[in-house]
Structure formats: structure tokens, C-alpha cells
Structure 1
């Protein structure tokens, strides 16, 4: 079964014939490691479903510090959603951390599909609800949890990602220094061994 259909069928039931119609609005592209899929100032026309690879959404503040907003691995969606949905220019970078195979869809094509195959709109509404809840949870964790608790939560969300991304990128996601991340890892390993 196609990975996107498997992903969709976790939330709604989409018949394979309807999925084949839906699949027609996507195109699959391969991107090499370090490719910048999105850069600040761009007009964003696509969102992407990850078939293979790992990506990172981040911004650089006025002092040059990177802030990682999201990692996207297989079966995740990624884009600069502020620009995608609101039609403005991107403020984020979306970088391929590995060689990636992505399915991309244009907003206009997706909106047309919502009219002709309304169950797809239900799927994307559910995706947005889940994403909104996840981002609120992330904001709450950054306000209320210790670095150790945020790291534990990160491991639950992205269980295998530590082998795929750099330490400073994880630290940037957690809002801590790479040195603090190293200490958290050492303490976690020590507690796992005891």
C-alpha cells in the first residue's frame, strides 16, 4: 500500500480508486542532502509529504542564532505553513538533512480536490487539528517543562532521530545549548544503565 494512503487511512477511510485520483495532484521529487527546499523571502506554493529522508524547519534570528521549529521524517508533512496558507513570503528555512524523496502538492490543486473529493478536506482538517494541538503542546512544554522533561518529550516524538540529525540542531529545537544536551544524554544513559 502506498505510504500516503496508509497515512491517510489512519484518520479516514479513502478508497484506493479515490486515492488514485487524489494522487494525481501530487508530484514526487528527489532532493539531495543540504538542499534548501524553502528559504526566507520565497513565495510558498507547495507542502510536502516525506516518503524518505529527514528535514528541518528553522529560522535564524537577528543575532544569527538558529531556532529549529520542526523535524520532518517519513510520513510527516512539512512546509512553511504561514506562507503556504496566508500567501505571504516565507520566514523559515526548510533544509534536507538527508537525501529526500518528497511528494509535493500545490495549494490551488489541493483546494480543487477538496471540492471534487470532499473526504480529502476532512483528512487535511484532521491533520491541521493535530498539528495545531502539537504546536500548542510544544509551546506549553517550553514554558513549563525543564530541559530534561523537554528532552524526554522530544525522544517520544522523534524516537530514532538522534542518529539522523546533529546535536546542535536538537539543542536548537529544545532551546538549550549543545553542552546542556550532552549532559542530559549522559544522565539519561547513566539512569538507563542503573
Structure 2
């Protein structure tokens, strides 16, 4: 819980009471490699804080090909955001790529605090704005940058992740084939 508190302090200035009210909603969950916290077509209701491990958000096309949307590394909040906020079915899957430790809370319990704790609502807005900015940046990079440039950004933004996950996951995230990734890495 200390990691969650430290992360929150970087985002918003909660009073001790506000922090206690918010963090009291979370409980620890340990997941194994390949476990899911969200599956396409199901409904999600949980917000998780990743304190240990690596996760990915991905989707599958009709042929069963997988495309990695993003990676989650600690410390970060993890959720099928469109499902928890719209109460619609998940469009993505979120899977552990390593054993993971998460702190999990029911999102409706968090939103029920907004009226009495405006800073908790502000935290939700801050997180949504941050996620949107990251998403926009990534979309622009995918259509405007060469694969080699995207790979360099990946290495800078996710140091040491290459040593923790399979290369085909990285290739999928970059929008290239594993063979293309091997060629780019060989030129280094």
C-alpha cells in the first residue's frame, strides 16, 4: 500500500483522511503469468494499481492475430477504462506477461466518493487526461515515425522491458513483424 500512497502523492495532494479513504478500497491480488484481469467481450468493474510485474493490453482481430496496445509496468493504474467508465463490454484484453502483484478496487466504490471527496474525482480526471495524452502520442508515432524510431522510443520509455518479455510482444506493440524487429536490433 505504501507504493500506492507514494504514487498518489506525485499526482495529487490528498489529506491524510482522503488518502486513507481512497486506499482503503484496495486489496492485494497476486496473479500468475498469462492470467487476465480483463477479457474482450466481458464487463470490467475493477481499477488496479500494478505494484510488481508486467502486463499488456491487447486486442485480437477476426483472424485471431493479436496486437499489443500498451504495456503496464509499476507503478501504474491498470483497467479496461472504456468498460469501467461506460459499463459496456471490454474491447481489449489485459494479461499478465509476468507474475504480478496488484492492488484492486471496485470502480463504482471509487466513483461513489466523488461528491464527498472532490480530490478523488480530480484524481480520476488527472489519470484520464494522462492516459489520453499517452494514447494520442502513441497514435501519432505509429503513423508518422519509422519502425526504427518507434523502437528507440520504446527502449527509452520502457528501459529493461526487452529483457522481461518476448520479442514478438515488442514487435506487435511497434506495429512490425518479429523479423523486422530482429533486423532493426541487428543494426545496432
**Following superposition, which runs of at least 4 residues in structure 1 exceed 6 angstroms of deviation?**
none
Q: Hey, what does 2:69 align to over in structure 1?
A: 69
**Corresponding position: 1:112 with 2:99:** no
- Between 168-177 and 5-14, report the one with greater CA deviation: 5-14
Q: Hey, what does 1:130 align to over in structure 2?
A: 130
Q: Deviations over 1:38-69 (max 9, x none)?
A: 11121111121101111111111012211001
TM-score by length of 1: 0.92
Give, in angstroms, the shift of residue 170 of structure 1: 0.5
Give, in angstroms, the shift of residue 121 of structure 1: 1.5
Alignment size in residue pairs: 188
Q: Report SS of the residue matched to 1:176.
A: coil
Q: Report SS of the residue matched to 2:186.
A: helix
CA RMSD in angstroms comes to: 1.3
Point out where structure 2 has 5 or more consecutive residues left out of the alignment: none
d(CA) in 1 for partners of 2:70 and 2:25? 25
Q: Report SS of the residue matched to 2:95.
A: strand
Give, in angstroms, the shift of residue 23 of structure 1: 1.1
Q: Hey, what does 2:2 align to over in structure 1?
A: 2
d(CA) in 2 for partners of 1:184 and 1:9? 39
Give, in angstroms, the shift of residue 175 of structure 1: 0.3
Q: Hey, what does 1:86 align to over in structure 2?
A: 86
Q: Hey, what does 1:12 align to over in structure 2?
A: 12
- Contact 1:43/1:89, CA 8 A, preserved across alignment: yes
Give, in angstroms, the shift of residue 36 of structure 1: 1.7
d(CA) in 2 for partners of 1:28 and 1:114? 23
Point out where structure 1 has 5 or more consecutive residues left out of the alignment: 189-194
Q: Deviations over 1:117-163 (max 9, x none)?
A: 21122122111111101100000001100001111111122112111
Q: Hey, what does 2:57 align to over in structure 1?
A: 57
- Contact 1:97/1:165, CA 8 A, preserved across alignment: yes
Q: Deviations over 1:79-136 (max 9, x none)?
A: 2112111111112111111111111122211111222221122122111111101100
